[in-house]
A and B are shown apart, each in its own frame.
Chain A
Amino acid sequence: MAVTLTEAGGRRRASRRGVVPLAVGLLMILVWVVTALGADWIAPYPPADIDFLAISQPPSPAHWFGTDQLGRDILSRVIHGGTYVLTIAPAATLLGLGLGAAIGLATAWFGSWFDEAVMRVLDAVMAFPIVILAMLALTFLGAGTGNVVLVIGLVFAPLIARTVRAAALVEARKEYVMAAQLRGEGSLHIMAMELLPNVRGPLIVEGTVRLGYAVFTSATLGFLGLGVQPPTPDWGLMVSENQALLTTAPWTVLFPALAIAWVVVAIGLAADGLKEYLEP
């Protein structure tokens, strides 16, 4: 579009683009990492301590976030609940990244019928809504932290594979790859040493975005009762356990929901910042 003398100028300083949201996002995440690591010391009460004398109390100096219908301290449960999200989500993301990168690189590099076959299968896997697929699998594998990580990692892998494949396809046609072939480099070398470093950018960006969705999915599975099992304090689980109290004791639902929102927003900010920072 036309730029006249007055329209231009005054653009923000480009060299620091993305740093601010990235820093804010990381700080917001750090808060939860610290509280989760020191949960035993920071939380005012043990998370599973039942106190029949303080049932469904609204927030007060003794219970900042109030208590639930068993008299458990919401603040303590929220603090402990972070541990699950913050282990499940990164672990699942890493699993998905590793698997997805391997599939994406291999399909892009080998191409032809291998690519065609693998992509058809992945398409079909992606034809399932993620939550449904995870739900199906967990029903049969049984709930539990390890299975949740496994299932989320597996359902994310095709999505990541697709991104990596697209980026690797572009790289694989470039001339430096032909030069490597002419030297007689093996497929493994080309995928790991020539292609992988050049799809690192999209891979990292995809990773941060997926991390956000891993939180999303694990919380949703918790909410649906397919993740961590009671009485473990998990945020999603807390929301569904206390859903019936929404009208009478809204704090039992509000604070775990806020905690999820906090983490998701933090990861979103960090992802956005990182993306701008990496892509000029």
Chain B
Amino acid sequence: MTASSTGPLLELDNVTISYQRRRDRVDAVRGVSLIIQPGEAYGLVGESGCGKSTLAMAVMRHLPRNGILSGGQVLFEDRDLFRLNQAELRRVRGGRIAMVYQNPESALNPTLKVGEQVAEVFRLHRALRHRPAAEAALDMLRKVRIAEPDRVVGLYPYQLSGGMRQRVVIAMALAADPALLVLDEPTTALDATVQADILDLFTDLRGEMKAAILFISHNLAVVQQVCDRIGVMYGGELIEQGTVAEVFKRPRHPYTAALFDCIPDFGVRKSDRRLAGIAGGVPDLAALGTACLYEPRCLISRQLCRVEHPDLMRAGSRHLSRCFFHAETPAPGAAARVRPEAVPVPDVTAGIPLLSLHGVGRRYGRAHILKDIDLEIAPGETFGLVGESGSGKSTLAKVISGLVPPSAGTVALAGERVAGQVGKRTGRQRRDVQMVFQTPDTTLNPRKKVASILGRAVRVLAGLGGKRKRDRSSALLGDVQLPVEMLRATPDRLSGGQRQRVAIARAFAGDPRLVILDEPTSALDVSVQASILNLLLDLQRESQAAYLFISHDLAVVRYLSDRIGVMYLGELVEVGPTERVFRPPFHPYTQALIAAVPRLGGAAPERPVSLDKPAPGPSERPEGCPFQTRCPRAYDRCRAEAPPWRDAGEGHMIRCWVALDALEASQSAALKPRRVQAPLPIGRRP
């Protein structure tokens, strides 16, 4: 340690960071002051664009070319980072402060072996020679619990899975035993099961090493698991700060409180309550007045808030809030306990199913992307589909909609078999099945106005022309709660949430009977997600359309769905009514998924069901049960024969060799002591 051990490790003093843009200059971070003590873990949360990453980069003194520190100081071990010369700066970077950021895909050099990339840090900061550095690197990889470290050192990044790559990046960051670790969304790009493993690793490592942590995330539950203190950012400002315990128990800023209300608690259903969104949008950083930044969206704002900008003020012994009326902050949930209008309960057993898949498969060469899928969806029902990335959820959606023809099996709509390719289906069949996609940036043709996007859909799907087409387009826009003036806008003028609403309007242009929603809110902030989910519920009530809802977020799926299917490696492994799926007996894979949901609530997190190895690719599908390479309960039979479907009653089916009562007994025991609570994501996933 070069600094005195008494002072703070990192001190941001009134830091303002500006970006020079084409026409103007924006302050992406304004007047942020915070202190991190040695060994402390500080969490920074906030919605997308609030300046979290900018702040992190300032701590590394690594701003983008057009960014400058336009005010304040960044003090690290009592030295002003922005006054160090290049040599001093290099000693700090990687040596005293290390960083892990979001995208493990690109953080490693594709042309160097990963062992070498870790060893480099030892040679540089620990002055080790070649051999000892290589051994130290191997040691470090062991410490981050990578599978088969001896083999991994000799591999190139492209040969590793996302989770393994992130472990290598973490090993690299820890190599020089830094005093501060900056983690910018280190698990956001990973699957839930992998995220759980990595978070677990962080928790363990915190016990072993002395490094302080600046942990940036949009997911409150994750921050709670890792951090001691938390700061909430909004519009570039720090608006609330306190210990994790205090802030989670009693937020002292209306924005923080509202964020909690946007998130469906794990276990809350659409019939229990409506989600509360936050009206309005984030402030335009380039045009700020003197008011409180949150004023346009605040439920308790008053005259004072419109004329004066609040400073950070004390709201508890170690609790700060940038709100004049922090004492009146509504408790989470108070504003949100709105009883929903009655949600129709579709009758799944009666009549002809709207959609039925029989033995559907899809293969490319030797790779089975989908295998042997049987599935029925009733009219008006919401069917939720979950599974890790790469498990074939989107391919299944495309097979149903006809974008990808199945290579085996049949698809039938209302009992009538339909062609595999959308182009060969009848007009009526095309109207019946429409889709809403994940990425707001690409879901609308950027060269067309909203009027022409909706107009074309109305003309083709509803067969209307002229004035009736225009009327219908306006009505659709009204249905998704967008102002009619927006017809004249091009997509680049709309926010992500607005684009997604236009995409929903487009899907509803021809009164579809089945709407496939492929991760429609994954790229959105939670406040926007909440309002989109509400909108989807309203539209369903009026149109009686069935939904196939795909998401990686278990809480959201649970909130919205009547029934749920769990996919693994292109196969369905469990299907059942929502509440049954979230109660034992589970399929072992479902159990791992549920255990991976980050927990809120004071109790120390139970260790997730570690799936150790990454999922095999579709071309490496194992014999027997697809899950057998990772299943903690696998035995001989699983490796030889495909498991049978077992009926747990009420339409709850599980595909496993282990008998249901045996599953149930052990799983109930594992679940008992834990309070299952909500994952709280408050930002977007890339």
Contact = CB atoms under 8 A, between A and B. Distances in A.
Interface of A: 1-5, 8-9, 11, 14-15, 174-176, 178-179, 181-186, 194, 197-198, 200, 280
A3 B66 CA distance: 8
In the complex, which of the residues B67, B89, B443, B507 has the most CB atoms of chain A within 10 Å of its own CB atom? B443
Interface stretch (B113-121, B430-438, B637-645): B430-438
B495 interface: no
Contact of A197 (B63, B447, B461, B506): B447
A194 B63 contact: no
B445 interface: yes
A5 B442 CA distance: 37
Contact of B66 (A11, A198, A280): A11
B423 interface: yes
Contact of B460 (A9, A15, A176, A183): A183
A58 to B, nearest CB: 53
A85 B398 CA distance: 52
B427 A184 contact: yes
B23 interface: yes
A182 B23 contact: no
Interface in B504-519: 506-507
A198 B447 contact: yes
A5 B456 contact: no
Contacts of B63: 2-3, 8
Contacts of A4: 61, 82
A3 B65 contact: yes
Contacts of A174: 442
A8 B67 contact: yes
B23 A15 contact: yes
Contacts of A185: 460
Interface string B440-469: 001111111000000011001100000000
Nearest to A11: B20
B446 A198 contact: yes
Contacts of A181: 402-403, 422-423
Nearest to A8: B68
7 smallest CB-CB distances across A and B, nearest first, come from A175-B437, A197-B447, A174-B442, A14-B22, A176-B445, A8-B68, A175-B443
25 contacts: A2-B89, A3-B64, A4-B61, A5-B68, A5-B82, A8-B20, A8-B63, A8-B66, A8-B67, A11-B20, A15-B22, A15-B23, A174-B442, A175-B437, A176-B443, A178-B398, A178-B403, A178-B435, A178-B437, A179-B503, A181-B403, A182-B430, A183-B457, A184-B460, A198-B446
Contacts of A186: 423
Given A9-B68, A200-B447, 6 more contacts: A11-B20, A174-B442, A179-B457, A183-B460, A184-B430, A197-B447
Contacts of B23: 14-15
B365 to A, nearest CB: 13
Nearest to B67: A3
B102 interface: no
B97 to A, nearest CB: 13
Interface string B116-147: 00000000000000000000000000000000
Contact of A9 (B20, B398, B439, B442): B20
Nearest to B430: A184
Contacts of B674: none
A197 B452 CA distance: 14
A175 B443 CA distance: 5
A37 to B, nearest CB: 35
Contacts of A184: 422-423, 425, 427, 430, 460
Contacts of B291: none
B34 interface: no
A61 B430 CA distance: 78
A79 B448 CA distance: 45
B69 interface: yes
A4 B17 CA distance: 12
A53 B575 CA distance: 101
B89 A182 contact: no
Contacts of B445: 176, 194, 197-198
Nearest to A183: B460
B435 A182 contact: yes
B53 to A, nearest CB: 15
A181 B506 CA distance: 13
Given A183-B430, A184-B423, A1 B65 contact: yes
Contacts of B448: 197
Contacts of B446: 198
Contacts, number: 85
Contact of A280 (B22, B434, B437, B444): B22
A131 B568 CA distance: 56
Contacts of A178: 398, 403, 435, 437
B82 A182 contact: no
Contact of A176 (B67, B434, B444, B507): B444
Interface string B75-118: 00000001000000100000000000000000000000000000
A15 B22 CA distance: 6
Nearest to B461: A183
B401 A182 contact: yes
Nearest to A195: B445
Contacts of B457: 179, 183
Contacts of B69: 5
A238 B438 CA distance: 61
A36 B507 CA distance: 55
A234 B443 CA distance: 52
Nearest to B459: A183
B62 interface: yes
A153 B636 CA distance: 67
B456 A183 contact: yes
A178 B397 CA distance: 12
Nearest to A10: B20
A130 B433 CA distance: 50
Contacts of A200: 447
Interface in B41-80: 61-69
Given A3-B63, A8-B20, A182 B447 contact: no
Contacts of B438: 175
A3 B89 CA distance: 12
A4 B442 CA distance: 36
Contact of B437 (A3, A5, A179): A179
Nearest to B401: A182
Nearest to B89: A2
B82 A176 contact: no
A1 B89 CA distance: 13
Contacts of A194: 445
Interface in B371-405: 398, 401-403
Contacts of B433: 182
A182 B422 contact: yes
A182 B68 contact: no
A197 B444 CA distance: 13
Interface string B477-506: 000000000000000000000000001001
Contacts of B427: 184
A175 B444 CA distance: 7
A43 B553 CA distance: 76
Nearest to B25: A9
B65 to A, nearest CB: 6
Nearest to A184: B430
Contacts of B443: 175-176, 179
A197 B447 CA distance: 6
A18 B464 CA distance: 45
B402 A182 contact: yes
A169 B506 CA distance: 24
B448 to A, nearest CB: 8
Contacts of B461: 183
B627 to A, nearest CB: 30
A183 to B, nearest CB: 5
B65 A179 contact: no
A212 B607 CA distance: 65
A165 to B, nearest CB: 19
A9 to B, nearest CB: 7
A183 B435 CA distance: 10
